[in-house]
Chain A
Amino acid sequence: MCDFSGRLVAWMDRELPDHEAADAERHVRDCSECRRRVDTYKQVSRAFVAHCDAVMEATTRRRPRWVPVLASAAAAAAMLFLVFQPASVKQIPVRPRVADASPASILETAPRPVKTVHRRRGIAPAKTPNANWALPETAIQIAIPVEAMFPPGAVPEGITFIADVSMAADGSVQGLRLQP
Chain B
Amino acid sequence: MDYFFQQLINGLVLGSIYGLIAIGYTMVYGIVGMINFAHGDIFMIGGFIALITFLILVSIGMTMVPVILLLVLLVAMAVTSLYGWTVERIAYRPLRQSFRLAPMLSAIGMSFVLSNFAQVSQGARVKPVPPIITGGYTLHDSDNFAVQLSNVQIVVVLTTIVLLAIFTFIVSRTRFGRDMRACEQDQTMAALLGVDVDRTISMTFVIGAALAAVAGMMYLLYYGLVDFFMGFIAGIKAFTAAVLGGIGSLPGAMLGGLAIGLIETFWSAYFSVEYKDVAAFSILIIVLIFMPTGLLGRPEVEKV
Q: Do A and B bind each other?
A: no
Enumerate chain B interface residues (CB-CB to A < 8 A): none
Enumerate chain A interface residues (CB-CB to B < 8 A): none
